[in-house]
Amino acid sequence: MSENTGRIAGINGNLIRVEFDNPVTQNEVAYARIGEAQLKSEVIRIRGNHADLQVFEDTNGLKVGDPVDFSGEMLSVELGPGLLTQVYDGLQNPLPELAEQCGYFLQRGVYLKPLDREKTWPFTPAVSAGDTVSAGDAVGTVPEGIFDHSIMVPFAWKGRYTVEEVVGEGDYTVDRTVARLKDEQGREREMTMVQTWPVKIPINLYRERMRPGAPMVTQIRLVDTFFPVALGGTYCIPGPFGAGKTVLQQCTSRTAEVDVVIVAACGERAGEVVETLREFPELIDPRTGKSLMERTIIICNTSSMPVSARESSVYTAVTLAEYYRQMRLNVLLLADSTSRWAQALREMSGRLEEIPGEEAYPAYLESVIAAFYERAGRVKFDDEGTGSVTIGGTVSPAGGNFEEPVTQSTLKVVGAFHGLSRARSDARRYPAIDPLDSWSNYTSVVEAEPLERARRILREGNEVGQMMKVVGEEGVSIEEFLVHQKAEFLDAVYLQQNAFHEVDSATSAERQRYVFGKLDQVLRAEFTFSEKESARAFFQKLTREVRDWNREEMDGDGFKQAEQKMDDMVSEVT
């Protein structure tokens, strides 16, 4: 039993008010006792000798007067080897092991160790007795998948330390002491392969935070060319239900040129989360030829779970991302969907009886969202190594209304906006990112001049298309009709991409530059059509040829033959 115990003074859903005698701290973890079970909770507000706690479990059965044990520790995660391939809930409970213990229906108050205590890891020391180290420095490594997992001096240890002893090469469990260090006051401390870190505090043990510049190549043409994302950058994907947010995230997970992928299903519907859990182990990582799960972590929190767990899943995911960034790795964090996290904040704010903001969201919604995205970034360390955390969050505005508070608060802090369109989704134009409404502040993989020309043609072609809906084809000139045909051609062969085709599903930056250069020649060409019907027939045939071209390996004969055929077709009518 804890030495600091309070008593429940009030219950409102998953919010409990606790009266305490000894001091408690903000974000401290506490356990509400109900029979033999202990329900994990977190202090979110303190007033006098009362604290408001959000409970991460169903609170049925709790009553006024029940004891609450304060742990004296903040809400934290375990960091160490074995995180990759895992599926956790928002509190970092390993769900497969939890299911084995509890069966189909998870029990309240059951919390398991996030890392396997019995598995051994082949440890290789990186320091010797007498060396000086500080927080974040590696004392050794263990292999984890395709990476060397650094065993680092705990991030919470302040000051410099002298290595007194480090174990030799061998297989050890994560709880085994691997080094003894002495601080500047002469006190000895022992470290294992596991450390803990509070999820609400960023890990910032780096020398310099760099401006996002190098592109994070997703191999999705519409993204990399028109609305790119930078390593260490941020972007959001708002869109109505069914517009393809989850599929787009899965495609990005598989093809993005990053080291580690973390998926935070923070309140997504249970059916979509199950689909993610089923499909990810089946996805083949093009980098290794093995399962994509070998360099993936999934934080699973469905919309049917307690709302407070949505918030913990977001912070757990970003803390794990920062941990792997400390190893000089590039990490992609995908949060799906931040709207339901915001809804959880709204619900808790209402129970706390705070003054509401727009649409009853808390007045501090914008600052909370900004603080989350600000934990992204590309950083440089003292050894000149770099690492990055790139954050992409989906937003699910009701009715696809991008003017609602969550979308607008997100747009103020992200560097790229990939707005999904219901019209494009209904027309089966995938990815359904609207090329006219979306934007990016990052640098494209193609040159600026032809890119701007393509954007202009897309805008003008859309205007002609809208005009033709009113006045018909006969109401526009042949020149305007050709602009419309060029825009439709570019959309069909470049903006749209077949996620299920072995070749077309992923287009390297090199291929994007080459193909876009060829298409730019078509966009700049002066065609000599006298009739609209012949122009339409030509562009329909050219579209089929270029789509076939997209399905050919770049270094194969078929690629060159299709390219020559396209060149011959264009030269005949210019």
Give the residue numbers of the binding site for ATP.
239-246
Q: How many CA atoms lie within 13 A of 75 on its CB side?
A: 28
d(CA 135, CA 454): 50
CB distance 252 to 286 below 8 Å: no
CA distances from 563 to 520, 547, 569 (A): 14, 11, 10
Closest CA to 302 of 330, 353, 336, 262: 336
DSSP 567: H
d(CA 67, CA 469): 69
Burial of 388 (0-12, 13-18, 19+ CB in 10 A): buried
Residue 390 corresponds to which amino acid? T
Residues belonging to the chain: 574
Q: In sequence order, what are the residues at sequence separation of 6 or more whose Cβ sits closer than 8 angstroms to the Cβ of residue 399?
A: 240
Q: Is the dihedral of CA 351, 352, 355, 360 positive or negative?
A: negative
Where would I find the beta strands (DSSP E) of 114-207? 120-125, 132-134, 138-144, 147-152, 160-166, 170-173, 179-183, 188-191, 195-198
Burial of 535 (0-12, 13-18, 19+ CB in 10 A): buried
Q: In sequence order, what are the residues at sequence separation of 6 or more whose Cβ sits closer than 8 angstroms to the Cβ of residue 533?
A: none
Cis peptide before 431 (omega within 30 of 0): yes
d(CA 44, CA 41): 9
120 token code pair: 């051994």
Which segments are annotated as binding site?
Answer: 239-246
CB distance 230 to 376 below 8 Å: no
345 token code pair: 């904040």
d(CA 23, CA 30): 13
Residue 203 corresponds to which amino acid? I
DSSP 94: B
Burial 333-352 (b: 16+ CB within 10 A, else e): bbbbbbbbbbbbbbbbbbbe
d(CA 405, CA 347): 15
292 token code pair: 């994509």
Cα angle 216, 86, 53 (rounded to 5 degrees) comes to: 95
What's the alpha-carbon Rg for the chain, to the nearest Å?
27
265 token code pair: 């299903």
The string of DSSP letters for 201-254 reads S----SSEEEPP-SB---S-HIIIIIS--BTT-EEEEE--TTSSHHHHHHHHHH
Host H or E run for residue 47: strand 37-47
